[in-house]
């Protein structure tokens, strides 16, 4: 069966062709039985086709290529975990930088306030000097005029209150400035620690991706083709096993209005490349795609898949609806947008593009709902 029309309807001009692609892909993903059967053997070439044979290539046993695939999966998984750490450090750095700017503004305003208070205190001291250096209370006691005494008593009381208030405000402003400076220093320290964490994550990402690319570069063309075929077969097998549990018979949720907008956004990104740390508009990593999809729906969510798993509302798989996010692997290192009928839109990994896939092709950790 095809996807619910509300779950894959894209928005904006030029999206119709993409929607057709999604519908076709989802139809294949959810077709029963043979839809997930391994691709059949390639027909043998005819006699005319083999008239000029090319040098034969002896492929290693599938188990050797499967070992290569496992190594590639491990390298890309490590890169995905490091990418989450990089994105988290980047997000924290943005917040810390904003806090430092805010504290700097408070320090400037506080210093101006302190300067004004000191000027007031200076004027009060100058006024006292002009009266002979005697405090108001002493001058009042020397007065022989009763009416002047009574009038002056009120002024003395007001003056004492004003002096105490001025001292309190001076003290509080100085304390505030001291605290602002301490907070700013703390944020600078966190920013520096985050910079180091971000640099370490970047190094790990580039090392893992480079190792994966080097490993793939050593494969011959037919080995790469066979490796891709083994990968497709593994995905078909995993998706079929997931569908065979009857899970789709239990999932009946319909996309919310915001969920439809998130799906429309993600659908419009199909074909754009995966780039680690990217959140559009020309490329995405997995959580960059999901966070931007929901931001477009007016619902900002955490930047990383791990924080999306931690902070968003969890729902049972059987209760999920199009627009929900499926979190994968025990360490929540991957996330995809569920679009209905057992399908997802995801930014898979380096070297791939935003595409439609089967929701059960990877180990599901759980499901979260951004607009719960």
Extract long-range pairs of 25-29: CB within 8 Å, 24+ residues apart: 25/343, 25/355, 25/356, 26/2, 26/339, 26/340, 26/341, 26/342, 26/343, 26/356, 27/1, 27/2, 29/239, 29/341, 29/342, 29/343, 29/356, 29/357, 29/358
Residue 54 in domain: no
**Mean pLDDT confidence for 341-361:** 95
Q: Rg for the chain (alpha carbons), in Å?
A: 34
How much is the pLDDT for 318?
93
**Is the distance from CB of 270 to CB of 354 less than 8 angstroms?**
yes
Do 355 and 228 belong to one domain? yes
The verdict on 201 and 301 lying in the same domain is no
As for how many domains the chain has, the answer is 2
Provide the pLDDT for residue 99.
Answer: 84
Q: Please determine, for residue 353, whether its predicted confidence score (pLDDT) is greater than 50.
A: yes
Claim to verify: residue 91 and residue 155 sit in the same structural domain:
yes
How is residue 318 annotated by DSSP? Answer: G
111 or 271, which is more confident? 271
As a whole-number percent, the residues of the chain with pLDDT over 70 amount to: 72
Range of the domain at 349: 5-31+222-369
pLDDT per residue as tens digits for the range 134-155: 455 544 444 555 555 445 545 5
What's the pTM value of the predicted model, to 2 decimals?
0.65
Residues 204 and 131 in one domain: yes
Q: Under the phi-then-psi rule, with left for phi > 0, alpha for psi from -120 to 50, and beta for the rest, what region is 293? A: alpha
* Paired residues of 357 in beta bridges: 344
Give CA–CA dist 63/57, Å, rounded. 17
Most confidently modeled range among 11-20, 49-58, 88-97 = 88-97
Domain boundary (162, 184, 210) is at 210
Least confident span in 45-49, 99-103, 355-359: 45-49
188 and 256, same domain (yes or no): no
Same domain, 205 and 238: no
Strand partners, 366: 327
Per-residue burial over 72-98, b = 16 or more CB atoms within 10 Å of its CB, e = otherwise = beebbbbbbbbbbbbbbbbbbbeebee
- Which tens digit of pLDDT belongs to each residue from 88-121? 888 888 888 888 888 888 888 888 888 887 777 7
Tell me, yes or no, whether 216 lies in a domain: no
- Asked, for residue 13, whether it belongs to a domain, the answer is yes
- Based on the domain organization, do 228 and 203 belong to the same domain? no
Helix axes 286-296, 257-268, angle to 10 degrees: 130
Q: CATH number of the domain that 329 lies in?
A: 3.90.1720.10
Same domain, 199 and 228: no
Based on the domain organization, do 358 and 226 belong to the same domain?
A: yes
Rounded Cα distance between 57 and 60, Å, is: 9
User: Which residue intervals of 55-145 are DSSP H helices?
Assistant: 62-130, 136-141
C-alpha dihedral sign at 250, 254, 260, 264: positive
- The answer on pLDDT for 200 being more than 80 is yes
Give residue 134's pLDDT: 47
Per-residue model confidence (pLDDT) at position 56: 39
Asked if 145 and 237 sit in the same domain, the reply is no
At residue 114, the pLDDT reads: 80
Strands 355-358 and 364-369: unpaired
Closest residue by Cα to residue 301 from 286, 314, 291, 309: 291
pLDDT at 183 over 90: no
pLDDT above 50: residue 288: yes
Section 274-295 average pLDDT: 96
Question: Which of 210, 234, 261 is a domain's end point?
Answer: 210
- Tell whether 19 is covered by a domain: yes
Per-residue confidence (pLDDT) for residue 276, from 0 to 100: 94
For residues 344 and 228, state if they share a domain.
Answer: yes
Is 162 or 182 the better-scoring residue by pLDDT? 182
The answer to whether position 50 is within a domain reads no
Q: What mean pLDDT do residues 22-47 have?
A: 36
Higher local confidence (pLDDT), 285 or 172: 285
Question: Does 59 reside within a domain?
Answer: no
pLDDT band at 372 (very low <50, low <70, confident <90, very high): confident
Q: Are residues 265 and 352 in the same domain?
A: yes
Average the pLDDT over 365-369 and give the result. 98
56 is a domain residue: no
Asked if the model's pLDDT at residue 45 lies above 70, the reply is: no
Tell me, yes or no, whether 55 lies in a domain: no
Task: List the strands of the sheet with 313-315, edge to edge.
Answer: 313-315, 364-369, 325-328, 334-340, 343-346, 355-358
Q: How confident is the model at residue 64 (pLDDT cuts 50, 70, 90)?
A: confident
Q: How far apart are CA 327 and CA 308, in angstroms?
A: 8
pLDDT band at 369 (very low <50, low <70, confident <90, very high): very high
Domain end among 171, 186, 210: 210
């Amino acid at each position: 069966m095809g996807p619910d029309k509300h779950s894959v309807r894209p928005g904006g001009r030029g999206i119709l062709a993409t929607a057709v692609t999604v519908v076709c892909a989802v139809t294949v993903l959810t077709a029963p039985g043979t839809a997930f059967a391994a691709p059949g053997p390639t027909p043998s070439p005819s006699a005319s086709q083999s008239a000029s044979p090319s040098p034969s290539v002896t492929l290693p046993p599938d188990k050797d290529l499967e070992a290569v695939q496992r190594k590639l999966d491990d390298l890309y998984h490590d890169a995905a975990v490091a990418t989450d750490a990089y994105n988290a450090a980047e997000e924290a750095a943005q917040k810390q930088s904003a806090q430092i700017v805010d504290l700097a503004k408070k320090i400037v305003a506080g210093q101006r306030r302190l300067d004004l208070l000191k000027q007031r205190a200076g004027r009060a001291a100058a006024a006292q000097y002009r009266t002979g250096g005697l405090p108001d209370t002493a001058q009042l006691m020397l007065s022989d005029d009763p009416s002047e005494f009574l009038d002056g008593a009120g002024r003395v009381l007001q003056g004492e209150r004003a002096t105490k208030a001025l001292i309190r405000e001076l003290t509080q402003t100085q304390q505030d400035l001291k605290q602002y400076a301490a907070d700013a220093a703390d944020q600078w320290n966190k920013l520096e620690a985050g910079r180091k964490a971000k640099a370490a994550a970047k190094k790990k990402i580039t090392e893992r991706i480079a190792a994966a690319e080097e490993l793939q570069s050593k494969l011959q063309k037919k080995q790469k083709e066979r490796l891709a075929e083994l990968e497709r077969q593994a995905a078909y097998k995993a998706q079929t096993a997931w569908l065979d549990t009857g899970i789709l018979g239990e999932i009946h949720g319909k996309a919310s209005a915001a969920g439809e907008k998130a799906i429309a956004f993600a659908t419009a990104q199909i074909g754009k490349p995966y780039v680690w740390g990217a959140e559009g508009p020309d490329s995405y990593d997995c959580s960059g795609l999901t966070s931007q999809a929901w931001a477009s729906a007016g619902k900002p969510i955490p930047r990383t898949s791990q924080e999306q798993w931690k902070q968003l509302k969890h729902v049972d798989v059987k209760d999920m609806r199009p627009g929900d996010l499926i979190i994968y692997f025990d360490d929540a290192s991957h996330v995809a947008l569920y679009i209905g009928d057992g399908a997802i839109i995801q930014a898979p990994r380096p070297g791939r593009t935003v595409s439609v896939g089967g929701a059960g092709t990877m180990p599901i950790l759980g499901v979260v709902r951004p607009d719960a």
